[in-house]
Copies of this chain bind each other. A is one copy, B any other.
Amino acid sequence: MRWAVILAGGSGSRFWPLSTPTTPKQLLPLAGELSTAEQAVLRLEGLIPRERILVVTGPALAPRMEAVLRLPPENILVEPRAASTGPALVWASFEARRRDPAAEVLSLHADWSIREDAAFRHTATQALDTAVRHHRLVTVGILPSRPDTGFGYIVSGPPLDDVARTVSRFAEKPSAATALDLMASGALWNSGLFAWTADDLLTEVARHTPEIGPHLPRLAAGDVAGFFAAVTSVSIDVGVLERSAAVAVVPGRFTWDDVGTWDALARVRRRDARGNVTHGPVQLFDCDDCVVWATGDPIVLSGLKDLVVVHANGRLLVLPRHQAAGLKTILDQLPPEVRDLP
């Protein structure tokens, strides 16, 4: 049967000061009225039932995730420590197979914005079908809308069938020039939307991933803590997909965004006639292309362009949109009593 694994672990600082360790971006209504984590579950409706949706998250977030996503408690998998996507997806796939020996797994992230839910389900179905038919680890490739240097790119090889192709190579976080070349040559973004049978993934991990493979017996023995203590942090891309020959790519025909920065809200939220995106009590006069997030006190902006203004958790942030990707560098320079949120 089909299972979904939603990775919902991160507690990044890219949405400071709105995101906090206990309310990270995947629990915030960044891309709509609901949080992206809730949207991720709702988007699976009709494709994979709630009983077969597993969520991998950290101890601090587990109670909120369970409450917000209304999933069976046993479907919230609490990582003893964050060890990148490799160990998380291996454990979750292992767990799916423990419950269902024929488990097919669709893996996704809790912080995505996807606009066309039906197209997403159509592509996900194609990816799962491809995984089963060809016994391959399938990645969904997204047609790039800009030469983003923050993503990985997939260069496809010869076709496997009408839908899927082999993967010629992966190119992780390219330079700006390379990203342009990749885009021009038809390379796709490596979104992180994957499909495989649990059996196939575990076979490939045992074959190619010394960081994880030797420790699979601990999972078999039910020793999750031991497994996480033993493994080395490694992403599923580097640890498995880039090393395996049994990989395929299916193109995704939907708008996908990982909502990685404040700037990204201008892509994923409704804009006014002048390109502004607002949340909460915001009054704009003669402003263009601003991103303004108010959580209580009204914000009044006049005569500005391309600005991010955020007031949340007792902090106020103002910076140009093009600097939003560098927010971490700013936070690193803040005194802890300002950076650390209450």
Contacts and interface: CB of A to CB of B under 8 A. Distances in A.
Contacts of A285: 330, 333
A307 B315 contact: no
Contact of A304 (B298, B299, B301, B319): B319
B319 A316 contact: no
Interface string A313-342: 011111110010000001001110010000
A71 interface: no
Contacts of A314: 296-298
B303 A319 contact: yes
Contacts of A311: 297, 311, 316
Given A281-B338, A285-B333, A333-B285, A302 B319 contact: yes
B315 A300 contact: yes
Copies of this protein in the complex:
2
A334 B298 CA distance: 11
Interface residues of A, number: 30
A338 to B, nearest CB: 5
A125 B323 CA distance: 55
A64 to B, nearest CB: 25
A144 B315 CA distance: 40
Contacts of A301: 318-319
Given A285-B330, A330-B285, A338-B281, A316 B304 contact: no
Interface of A: 17, 281, 283, 285, 294, 296-304, 307, 309, 311, 314-320, 323, 330, 333-335, 338
Given A299-B318, A300-B334, A302-B319, 9 more contacts: A297-B314, A300-B316, A300-B317, A302-B323, A303-B320, A304-B319, A309-B316, A311-B316, A318-B318
